[in-house]
Structure 1
């Protein structure tokens, strides 16, 4: 290993130290999907807000048990949306979700009754207190903590907030990010025919799609050729768009056209490291530009980009979003695995649950950094540390989800 090549932990320490927590901002319910909650959310109301019927039937009251065979007069009717009603003796016809009339404490389903003229009902089953009644606060009690800080809000959370009448929440500010892909061989337009030597740009769409899922706001995306002046112009456009983090792909190795390190010098950047003992993605570069703008220079191969994003950019985003450092899960290898020593490997993997309910991880074929298909088949990353060169089947390895805000979901039994 070169003296200038850092271990993963050394490089990550530099990234985390350069990252700073951002502030918070209010966000409306309609715009907060995927946003990270900045502070615990406490309910100031009960849910349900009143006792209501769990089904269509008849509401009534009585002692410990109102026995089958009891006949009652029908005093009134209560439908969903009706207001306060005061009941005396007898029964009230009631619809699902309707507020319970004051004085009544149980509901018998309509199919367990027999109605007869003029306005009477006979019970065909015993009815106990509280039966088929949804009590106020039985879902959420006033003063209860609903959601903890750090949760990425999903549709089910929005359902809860809407039910409680919460219109705005405090969320972490999203880091503003730019994506710049380099390479004269890249073609962005899928309708454009490829000339000999050209390839389609997959890194740009991948980064533009994954960064919002990781909690960021993408403010600029651009592709430039292997030209330092064009790259510097793209960088200035990204900064003018308000980017505080720039992710680039390509032109960071040691080849003739790898101009990014020199271009960054002209932009006044300070390179904090260049080369990490990982695979894929060893030539990765990390720099700080004026005004504390951070730049992650990722190699051009697609899986090196995916690894750089998942294991360097996303940990920085966690700091900025006010989240604790991510802890991996552990799972047993389904098959033996061996690798070259002295490099930390990040492996496209798939979690499985076998017929006995045991969790295992399969390291997929096709780990080369140019091979995208296995990444599309993966639902997790398996990480094997630099000091390990071989592991038997059943050995435990660290497992990470496809994104830091997304948990890996296992498939069925491995074939």
Structure 2
């Protein structure tokens, strides 16, 4: 019995728990998922700080300048009284008693030397002063666990005082490509086709580490041996998922005592995709041998599984308005589209054995059974 497309994705995500946490230097954590939320180690700003180049002032003007402070200097040891000012740079700590910072371009200065200068201008209480803890207080959670570490997260973590981050280890993936008919170099010829899935897969393993790719003939013993690789968290097989005379995967999995969680998905292309768990907890994702069907299986089963293992939180769906596509009465269709504003436009060339349409597309539109037009979910390529 085939599994509905949405349920298949949910099953893949629920099939595994996040891998163990590791502590990485900030420069090594990009793309990993946080195993623990990022908390502020200090308040920001750590003291009252100037947001402009100008004069920190107390009370109404005119003001007499008592000194200057630059970014990186300690907090001045003086306290401003009414009618007093300090020359300040952007990012510099302002003296206690500062009511506001008047930008330098709004000031008129008379008299020399610096100490005792008379400054006139307009002060608005609190203007251009960033107060201590205005952005966050020490201990505040800034980013929750499960967030994918982006360049902005790295910068935020550094600004909050962190040198390392606790993240989930990336899943390790081994790929097994099967098929007597496959060529790995040169042009196709009668009876032989180029392997398109093997070259495609590494670029699709976002958030995972590829351990290597094994090429096998249609031999059940060889396939069983390849699935014994215990250093991989996920084994991805290409081909042998259907029920033809050369399709050995289901028989091999049964012999290994695997639990099959998804045995076919009600979608087009990719119907014979498969998800199983071996007795030792390693997961097997079976991709159909047709290249576009294999891509559909990666997006349907493999990506949700890798996200779960890597600890990544669920991501909000992207949608667009789709017209001009005939829905299937029972199966979900995955249709290559290009995006034009809020519209998704089919590109065609979407036969299961061809990646032509996918190569031209921005995304695959998810067209549920019976869809009569309107917004659909997008799987961004």
Task: Specify if TM > 0.5.
Answer: yes
Structure 1 vs Structure 2 CA RMSD: 3.1
Aligned to 1:138: 134
Structure 2 CA distance for aligned equivalents of residues 364 and 123 of structure 1:
67
Of 335, 344, 364, the residue aligned with 2:332 is 344
Identify the structure with bigger relative contact order (alpha carbons < 8 Å, sequence gap 6+): 2
Using the size of structure 2 for normalisation, the TM-score is 0.84
Residues 1:95 and 2:92 aligned together: no
CA distance 1:336–1:83, change in 2 (3 Å) = same
Aligned to 1:148: 144
Using the size of structure 1 for normalisation, the TM-score is 0.78
Of 47, 52, 55, the residue aligned with 1:55 is 52
CA distance 1:50–1:340, change in 2 (3 Å) = same
Q: Are the equivalent residues in 2 in contact too, given 1:245–1:295 (CA < 8 A)?
A: yes
Of 202, 207, 210, the residue aligned with 1:218 is 210
Aligned to 2:380: 402
Q: Deviations over 1:115-135 (max 9, x none)?
A: 442225444531222222222
Q: Secondary structure of 2:35's match?
A: coil
Residues 1:112 and 2:106 aligned together: yes
In structure 2, the gaps of 5 or more residues are: none
Q: Shift of the alpha carbon at 1:208? A: 1.9
Structure 1 CA distance for aligned equivalents of residues 363 and 188 of structure 2:
35
CA distance 1:113–1:186, change in 2 (3 Å) = farther
Structure 2 CA distance for aligned equivalents of residues 111 and 325 of structure 1:
49
Q: Secondary structure of 1:38's match?
A: coil
After the TM superposition, which residues 149-188 of structure 1 pair with which residues of structure 2 at under 5 Å, given as runs?
149-184=145-180, 186=182
Aligned to 1:368: 351
Q: How many residues align?
A: 375
In structure 1, the gaps of 5 or more residues are: 354-358, 404-415
Q: Deviations over 1:5-34 (max 9, x none)?
A: 444356556545643444433333222211
Q: Shift of the alpha carbon at 1:156? A: 0.5
Q: Secondary structure of 1:129's match?
A: coil
Moved more, 105-114 or 29-38: 105-114
Structure 2 CA distance for aligned equivalents of residues 122 and 199 of structure 1:
85
Aligned to 1:275: 264
Aligned to 2:67: 76
Moved more, 248-257 or 192-201: 192-201
Q: Shift of the alpha carbon at 1:347? A: 1.6
Q: Shift of the alpha carbon at 1:243? A: 0.8
Q: Shift of the alpha carbon at 1:82? A: 0.8
Structure 2 CA distance for aligned equivalents of residues 104 and 5 of structure 1:
70
Residues 1:247 and 2:236 aligned together: yes
Q: Are the equivalent residues in 1 in contact too, given 2:5–2:300 (CA < 8 A)?
A: no
Residues 1:206 and 2:195 aligned together: no
Q: Secondary structure of 2:265's match?
A: coil
Structure 1 CA distance for aligned equivalents of residues 106 and 14 of structure 2:
67
Q: Are the equivalent residues in 1 in contact too, given 2:196–2:291 (CA < 8 A)?
A: yes
Structure 1 CA distance for aligned equivalents of residues 303 and 380 of structure 2:
11
Aligned to 1:320: 309
